[in-house]
Chains A and B, each alone.
Chain A
Amino acid sequence: MWWRSPSFILDKQQSDTVPHQRNPRDTLPLPSPPPFSMADTLQNPNPENNISAYYQTRAAHHAVVTGDWLAQAQAAIGRDPDDSTDTTVATVAGKPFSVIDEFNSWRKQPELAEAVAAIRALAAVIRNCQATTMMELEIELKKSSDSLKSGDTTSISLTAGCDLFMRYVTRTSALEYEDFDSAKSRLIERAEKFGEISCKARRIIAMLSQDFIFDGCTILVHGFSRVVFEVLKTAAQSKKLFRVFCTEGRPDRSGLRLSNELAKLDVPVKLLIDSAVAYTMDEVDMVFVGADGVVESGGIINMMGTFQIALVAHSMNKPVYVAAESYKFARLYPLDQKDMVPALCPIDFGVPIPSKVEVETSARDYTPPQYLTLLFTDLGVLTPSVVSDELIQLYL
């Protein structure tokens, strides 16, 4: 499309009219993401810039927090008193129930995955809704689900989680009851159960992958994935001897946080810059990555750099294992890297970049299924070809 045409000169002239937003950030020597307060990021104030709120939140949770950033964050909170009061008001009784607020309150916990927060929020919608018929309830659910999804169009697991929730909870077998209240309670039961299962998914995945980690192995991980961390934590706690190579994971440098956590568990960790992956690949026995979304072809969408690592691993015959919960299965089929909703995340290079120089700010990439060996999900250990099978059965 327009990305590949030589008319980038024209495009450049157009985008030159909107660069002033970037300049103040470029000149500040910040090593980490820009100083949005938490409330700001969650409302996604820059939909036209496609700055991905999902990646901002992840960075906020897991990236390196420096003194500068903290000061900026404090200043930002001081600047917007309305935002901070907004989040407290949500808990006051009498305010109309807002699914976004519920979602935000769940999302504050860094341990909880975004899709699980959305599922819990939607379950709360069912509980609090005032509808008296099934159709009304369904319409209200659909509305809430749409508003959650539109809050951040770049997050795949959020969209997939909401869609799956709608599928599970409103399947016709649950609606064969005469009386609305029992149907509603059954729906609530199913919704809570789905929330439970999603929460426990990480434990199940950790149990399944224990067999694949043997004593004396070297594991390469990329960025900070909570599922992969759970896997490694379980292995370390069962006294397995292994070492981990951890990539830095620019631009949010979440790999540094992961290496901290692993060092606390007494696991030998070696930190690599992203470019050193090929250099160290022959010492590696297996690659473990998480996923932001698992697409229909069996490939994954994950933090920028995953595709590179998978290519190198494949060319050196090292297995690439993906740990992903089942609610991340999405009905997408990207044919190449540019085929997804762009999710941009501003990169700070530490020095001011002249405005004539373009920066590739995409936060994620797509890894095709032929470079992946196995997926560990709460449905079991799957090969990439099983994913489309599962999705078809669900949506048929």
Chain B
Amino acid sequence: MPGTQTLVNELVTKLKKRRVEGSQETALLTAELLRSVISQLKVPPTNQAETLIEAVKTVGELLVAANPVELAVGNIVRRVLHIIRDEDFSVATSSAGGDDRETAEENGFRVQTVAAGPPSRSPSLHAILDRTPDSERAHHSSRDGDSFEGKGKSADRNAESWKLKHDVIRAVNELIEDINSCHEQIAEQSVELIHQNEILLTFGRSRTVREFLCAAKEKRRSFRVFVAEGAPKYQGHALAKDLGARGLQTTVITDSAVFAMISRVNKVVVGVHAVMANGGVIGPVGLNMVALAARKHAVPFVVVAGPHKLCPLYPQNPQVLLNEMRCPSELLQDGEFSDCMGVCNGSGNPLLNVVNPAFDYVPPELVSLFITDIGGYNPSFVHRLIADYYSADDLDLQKRTTS
């Protein structure tokens, strides 16, 4: 597939050189790329789901390796894998119901696949005996294929294979739609959260938060916003300008002043980089401070996040532990330290180091509420969302030859 290969390489380069900013952009590009990979893939009549999964996993591995810190890439890859498994299962069940039962053995095979249970559900106590591992499922679907071809139903089979790809592409389109429209869906819930004459605090600059606040403004709530500037990029300034332009009363404060001002604030609303499986969040550096201050003064800490930010990994996982160290020059004004930067001690190590981490981890105990496009949830409920959107088999994107 020469066409897809160039597309993949293009995206990989973009990710490596960090030319793509923001998790929503990355998520959309990844989803679109995977959609073209799937549509251009030639699927054999048997084991179609397996081929699709293999192909997506290969591409996914490359993408994740290009920018391991951007968790949205891995999230979308796993979403697509889950979609493939889901659609495969529903195709199998619908064909079992639709076909007239010709022979008992065919029936037997079908009953087996159906009784295997939805592969999309992560392992659960009540379904523990109904789970069949991947190898068994593949065996079943290949047996189905053989029995079909033996009976001369190859045309039907081709139609089925086309159906699976079609369904998967339809579901991926829905996913792209969801990502695009998540801001509106989240913003709709702002009216319930923001009351009259409230004071809100936000940190740095998040598009989701901006839409959230503006939607409440549209509904004639009058409230004030404190914006913490979010050093070293000072993106809070841009957000403050935006909000001011839309008619909201905004105050800019430094990150260090958050603790001093938190007692006057009714709620903290922030956007984050990623939401982890235990309910913790990864956000811009300095967010943990804000969360701790909010906890100290019993101020609700609300996180708004779109579905592409939900990550099925735990924060202790080495893939997640990576914190991107940005360029130190962001911290220094021009030429400020140029005289002492070169000074080294006896063993050649520079005496002055400047470190600029990009992310911060906030543990789940400090978060009061998550607002997603499907509603508001407790941090302890995140596992349910993860079970709905992701399959347990996909957590490790490396292809395993033996399970």
| A residues adjacent to B (C-beta < 8 A) | 164, 167-168, 173, 190, 193-194, 197, 211-212, 214, 326, 329, 374, 378-383, 385-386, 389-391, 393-394
**B278 & A374 in contact (Cβ 8 Å cutoff):** yes
- B123 is an interface residue with CB less than 8 A from chain A: yes
- Give bound CA distance, A360 to B123, whole Å: 41
CA distance A194 to B384 in the complex (A): 25
CB closest residue in chain B, given A167: B126
Most buried by A among B115, B314, B364: B314
Tell me the complex Cα distance, A389–B224, Å.
40
Report the bound CA distance from A326 to B131 in whole Å: 15
**B392 contacts the other chain (CB 8 A):** yes
Interface contacts beyond A326-B125, A391-B125, A393-B124: sample of 7 additional A-B pairs, CB < 8 Å, sorted by A: A164-B125, A212-B316, A374-B278, A374-B314, A383-B383, A385-B380, A386-B380
Chain A residue at minimal CB-CB distance from B278: A383
Chain A residue contacts of B123, Cβ below 8 A? 378-380
- The residue from B129, B381, B383, B392 contacting A194, defined by CB atoms under 8 A apart: B129
Task: Classify the interface of chain A: helix, strand, loop or mixed.
Answer: helix
Bitwise, B121-159 to A at CB < 8 A (1) or not (0) is 011111011000000000000000000000000000000
Please indicate which of the listed interface residues A211, A379, A386 has the most CB atoms of chain B within 10 Å of its own CB: A211
CB distance from A378 to the nearest CB of B (A): 8
Residue of A nearest to B123 (CB): A379
Q: How far is the CB of B87 from chain A (nearest CB, A)?
A: 23
Instruction: Write the nearest CB–CB distance from A261 to chain B, whole angstroms.
Output: 25
14 pairs, CB–CB < 8 Å, chain A vs chain B: A167-B126, A168-B128, A194-B129, A374-B278, A374-B314, A378-B123, A379-B122, A379-B123, A379-B124, A379-B128, A381-B314, A383-B279, A386-B380, A390-B124
Given contacts A211-B316, A211-B317, A385-B380, contact A380 B125 (CB under 8 A): no
In this assembly, does B2 line the interface, its C-beta being within 8 Å of a C-beta of chain A?
no
B141 to chain A, nearest CB (A): 21
B129→A168 contact, CB < 8 A: yes
Decide: A394 and B314 in contact? CB cutoff 8 A.
no
Interfacial chain A residues near B115, Cβ < 8 Å: 173
Which residues on the A side are within 8 Å of B364 (C-beta)? 383
Give Cα distance in the complex from A386 to B125, angstroms: 11
Residue of B nearest to A164 (CB): B125
Min Cβ gap A280→B in Å is: 22
Interface pair A393/B128, CB less than 8 Å apart: no
- In the complex, the chain A residue whose C-beta lies closest to that of B396 is A211
Interface membership of B318, Cβ < 8 A: yes
- Chain A residues within an 8 Å CB radius of B380: 383, 385-386
Which 5 residue pairs spanning A and B have beta carbons closest together?
A: A385-B380, A394-B126, A390-B125, A394-B125, A379-B123
- Asked whether, in the complex, the Cβ of B128 is within 8 Å of the Cβ of A197, the reply is yes
Inter-chain contacts of B126 with A (CB < 8 A): 167, 390, 393-394
Does the CB pair A386–B383 fall under 8 Å? yes
Would you call B392 and A380 a contact (CB within 8 A)? yes
Cβ of A390: which chain B residues have Cβ within 8 Å of it? Answer: 124-126
Q: Distance in Å from the Cβ of A299 to the closest Cβ of chain B?
A: 14
Q: List the A residue with the shortest CB-CB distance to B364.
A: A383
Q: Which residues of B contact A214 (CB under 8 A)?
A: 316, 318
Q: Which residues of B contact A167 (CB under 8 A)?
A: 126
A379 contacts B314, CB within 8 Å? no
Name the CB-closest residue of B to A197.
Answer: B128
A379 & B317 in contact (Cβ 8 Å cutoff): no
Q: Which one of A168, A173, A329 has the greatest number of beta carbons of chain B within 10 Å?
A: A168
In the bound complex, what is the Cα–Cα distance between A212 and B315 (angstroms)? 9
Q: Write the nearest CB–CB distance from A318 to chain B, whole angstroms.
A: 13
Interface string of B310-321 (1 = CB under 8 A from A): 000010111000
Closest residue of B by beta carbon distance from A204: B123
**Per-residue 0/1 for B284-323: is the Cβ within 8 Å of any A Cβ (1 yes, 0 no)?**
0000000000000000000000000000001011100000
